[in-house]
Amino acid sequence: MAKRPLIEVRSIDYVPKRERHGKVWHLWPVWFMGDAHLATIATGFVGVALGGNLIWMTIAVVLGIALGTFFMAFHSTQGPQLGLPQMIQSRPQFGYVGALLVWGVALVTYLGYNAFNQVLAADTLTTLYGTNPKVSILGIGVLATLLAVVGYDWIHAAQRVLSIVLLAALLVMTFALGRAHFAPEQLDIHRFVLIPFLVQLFATAAYQLSWSIYVSDYSRYLPKEVSVRSAFFWTYVGAFIGGVWTTLVGTVAAAMFPKEDLSPALLHAANSMLSGSGAPLLIITLLGLVTITTLNFYGASLTLLSVADSLKPLKPTVAKRLMTLALGFVVSTLIAFMASKDFAHEFGEFLAVLLYLFTPWTAINLVDFYVVRKGHYSVREIFNPNGMYGRWNWRGLTAYFVGFASMIPFFSTGIYRGPIATALGGADLAMLVGLPVSTIVYLIACRGVDFEDEARRAALADEGLDDEA
């Protein structure tokens, strides 16, 4: 890092081979820490709050994270292959302008998550030290934005250091679990309740799936020779272990103190297992919350630049990147200032909406990369408003809307419950429908297209790309 600029120079532009660096195992701490923080702990509260018990919610957490991380880790492998951020890669599937659809969804996610993160951090600091919530919201946002300013290499470095600290903390709390006391019904394997189980399973799946929109942002500087298998492995292992371990901290705390809010429940649970450990645990997980907020600001910046480039082609500069970071900070902070105190309920609803919005996109993006185009894209044409990918790609847009529409009868949220979900007693199976429907529609729409010819044209279009970059 000493040989590279303090502030990252690149943003949505291609990373040439001579600038590629890092080791593939570095993806492990990035995505372990991506989950090892307070917002992940909050997802563990969802099922218990609805009446589920510890045994079955633990099973739901493991299954949900295994499912969501599977798709998320495949997106990570795209970074070394293309040398581009995640969202800009949507242009071949949706078109130069059509990709604005998914970018709008991504922006809502980044800023919504960060508003939740800032509120959660403020609530934690208020619980511990009685600080002013608005000052805490502002302070967390500033710290996260500054780390996003210096960029990719420093984000990776911070995640590696903090992963060691979080690993130690989680190990201590796991060994202390033997001193935890639960009501008998929390450990009753016969006390299965379908709705809390499904809500917890798909909430955790949605939470992991939501990283998909920027996961290759943090692998795009890796050498192109990095294999798909190794990139998938290190991303999956980091995100799965960090996700399961940290979410279950929340599930355990909720099972021990089901009537408490997040921060007090975590504080009391930790102190009851290991005297005096509550405050240090909250502070450590708060550090992780700062870095994941950084990742969201970083991703929001890249997405805003992508949006601006679609409206009017631009040359990416450091100044433009800093302007978009500032805008993201202002918007998320304003949302956090106006947020309701009913955090747990709103967070659960937010996760459900994310699942609906990202399910069709992740299916289309992955099937296009691995099955349809088999990784053959032209970087130059992705930035060409009149290029081979077109301004609007009806194939991707049709598959997205059909896939989304197929999920509507299965929606089950406080805002809307579809007829099939109602017939199933409120069970939400939308993800299991949206993934295959979007995939099948996209594959059918792509029939008859000569992608071998397109691959040859893409290779010709990118001749000399690394020298130019």
In angstroms, rounded to a whole number, what is the distance separating the alpha carbons of residues 153 and 238?
18
Q: Residue 261 — φ and ψ, nearest 5°? A: -75, 175
Burial string for 57-88 (b: 16+ CB within 10 Å, else e) reads: bbbbbbbbbbbbbbbbbbbbbbbbbbbbbbbb
Domains of the chain with CATH codes: 22-358 (1.10.4160.10)
**Cβ partners under 8 Å of residue 360, min gap 6:** 399, 400, 401, 403, 404, 407, 434, 438
pLDDT in tens, the chain (469 residues): 556 788 999 999 999 999 999 999 999 999 999 998 888 888 998 899 889 999 999 999 999 999 999 999 999 999 999 999 999 999 999 999 999 988 988 888 888 889 888 988 898 898 889 999 999 999 999 999 999 999 999 999 999 999 999 999 999 988 888 888 899 999 999 999 988 998 899 889 988 988 898 999 999 999 999 999 999 999 999 999 999 999 999 999 999 998 888 778 888 888 888 888 888 888 888 888 899 999 999 999 999 999 999 999 889 999 999 999 999 999 999 988 987 666 556 665 776 777 788 899 999 999 999 999 999 999 999 999 999 999 999 999 999 999 999 999 999 887 788 999 888 777 788 889 999 999 999 999 999 899 999 999 999 999 999 887 6
